[in-house]
Structure 1
Amino acid sequence: MTQQVKSELIKIKDVMNMTTFSRNTVYKLIGSGEFPRQLKVGAGSYWRRKEVEQWLDDLMPATDEQVQVASEQAAKAARKKVH
């Protein structure tokens, strides 16, 4: 594997596609320390693809019920911030 592939940076739209989360959910998870932090490059925000992939791999052992609970908690937190 080349160094370029190991350190590939991706934008928020790529993160959203990989996780199926909204932009707000991604940033809420970052704020709570549950998701890899973005890197600021100039005015842009980027993530290391490898870190996002590892985060997703770490979720794989979770049961469907655990994923549902986490999704509901994220949605509840998002609604609290809006109101």
Structure 2
Amino acid sequence: MNHQELTDKDIKPPRRILRLREVERLTGYKSSSIYRMVKEGVFPRQRRIGPGAVGWDSREVDAWIEERLDGVA
């Protein structure tokens, strides 16, 4: 029987909608920097989730963070 060992990278966290305050907490950036980076195309774009409400795809934000930690940025 072939058993494969799972690593942390093999297990994806559930996909969620992140609101601005959580994106700030996860990245360490404040809203003005986040929106500037979105405008420059170097941070994931927010999505409209309702009237007057936006959110970020958690997997896109997680991937952005991983790239920085891995030194790709």
TM over 0.5: yes
Q: Which of these two proteins has the greater Rg computed from alpha carbons?
A: 2
Aligned to 1:19: 27
Gaps of 5+ in 2: 1-10
Could you say which structure has the higher helix fraction? Answer: 1
Stretches (4+) displaced over 6 A: none
**1:30 and 1:44 mapped to 2: Cα distance?**
16
Gaps of 5+ in 1: 67-83
Aligned length: 61
Let me know the Cα RMSD of the aligned residues.
2.2
Aligned to 1:46: 55
How far 1:60 sits from its partner (Å)?
Answer: 1.3
How far 1:61 sits from its partner (Å)?
Answer: 2.7
CA deviations on 1:9-37 (whole Å, 9 max, x unpaired) are 01000000000001000000000000000
**1:41 and 1:47 mapped to 2: Cα distance?**
9
Identity %, equivalent residues: 22
